[in-house]
Amino acid sequence: MRILIDARFTRTDQHDGISRFGASLIEAVSRRADVAMLISDDRQLALLPSVPHVKVTSPLSPRELFIAGQVNRLRPDVVFCPMQTMGSWGRRYPLILTLHDLIYYEHPEPPGFLPAPVRLLWRLYHRAYWPQRVLLNRADVVATVSHTTRWLMSEKRLTRRPVRIVGNAPPGGREPRRAEAGAEKTLLYMGSFMPYKNVETVISGMEHLPDYELHLLSRVSTGRRAELESLVPAGARVVFHGGVSEEDYEALLRRTTALVSLSRSEGYGLPLVEAMSLGTPVVASDIPIFREVGGAGTSYVDPDSPAAFAAAVRALEAPGAWEAASAAARTQAATFSWDASADALLAAAQEAIEAHARRRGTP
């Protein structure tokens, strides 16, 4: 099977969730099938595995409407896109599109890195479900990363196409931390600072944890940082890192007491899985997707209660509690792997090939 994977959503400096999802799948699938990838910027290659690639136009360009003309000439057996926005008009190949979540219907604020015209289209796009239906119904198969999102897609009747789970997973080849080494009295947050991420409650909860230090790892705008700094309780210790390398992130995870996330909505929650894979306990908001991903490896709290968040952290101080939480985290993380995701993608690819052939009336 010759599978072409759209890698144009790969970042050029440091992975975000979509970027890591696509790159990790490319690496895992390339061990099982003949894989090539689409890029739009040569700098993306630094974060991608060494497989054949073709440079085409940016997915943010108006020419995206006609990308199928460029892809048709490559004659792939099937194309997989880790997003749902790949242009498909005029395509002559089987296509799998991916919808990660429905967050932006409830929280329509677009990511700040997008160009202004794209941010405007983003807002308009998420005012109704019909544009999403148009895009997804032009695929042969639709992928998503969780059962929670698949259920929401069904509830909103977003597509007539079969929806298959191609899940996220932690990086491979990492040894779990040694529980007997203990943990620093630090807490880590990895994620954006958009309002629905609810970092405000985490910061407020530090009032009850003066002996802990909260590390906010991701990049943050100057204005948003000032806004959050104004909320830090007197006596609380909060450190803004403004972004960390993959190596530093792993090193911090190996030392900390817990990773924390009190997000009100998520498409998946990859930081939870990354932390659990190392045996780092997680304290997270009690929402369906975190229940699915975190399983028994996570402590769940009311996202509106700083006191409940602080109490969950304090509970890890009981004799043997941290060690038990660490073991449960490792067990839960072991249920996810990129090899399993690659197998799921290849099964979906075969299904897409057969569905495309039926629609074209070819054997």
pLDDT tens digit sequence for 4-36: 999 999 999 888 888 999 999 999 999 999 999
The answer to whether residues 225 and 354 belong to one domain is: no
The answer to whether residues 185 and 322 belong to one domain is: yes
The answer to whether residues 246 and 136 belong to one domain is: no
In a domain, 174, yes or no: no
Range of the domain at 286: 179-333
In a domain, 95, yes or no: yes
Quote the pLDDT of residue 117. 72
> Does residue 363 register a pLDDT over 60?
no
The answer to whether residues 16 and 161 belong to one domain is: yes
In a domain, 150, yes or no: yes
Residue 96, domain CATH: 3.40.50.2000
> How far is it, in rounded angstroms, from Cα 197 to Cα 261?
8
pLDDT digits (tens, 9 = 90+) for 93-147: 999 999 998 887 877 676 666 677 777 776 666 778 888 999 999 999 999 999 9
In a domain, 273, yes or no: yes
The answer to whether residues 88 and 120 belong to one domain is: yes
The answer to whether residues 329 and 344 belong to one domain is: no
The answer to whether residues 22 and 79 belong to one domain is: yes
Going by C-alpha positions, the residue among 161, 8, 18 that lies closest to residue 71 is 8
The answer to whether residues 37 and 160 belong to one domain is: yes
Total domains present in the chain: 2
The answer to whether residues 207 and 326 belong to one domain is: yes
- Going by pLDDT thresholds of 50, 70 and 90, the confidence category of residue 330 is very high
pLDDT digits (tens, 9 = 90+) for 334-349: 999 999 999 999 999 9
The answer to whether residues 322 and 190 belong to one domain is: yes
Quote the pLDDT of residue 251. 94
The answer to whether residues 320 and 343 belong to one domain is: no
The answer to whether residues 343 and 329 belong to one domain is: no
How far is CA 158 from each of CA 30, 126, 161, 197, rounded to the nearest angstrom? 30, 13, 9, 25
pTM above 0.85, yes or no: yes
In a domain, 321, yes or no: yes
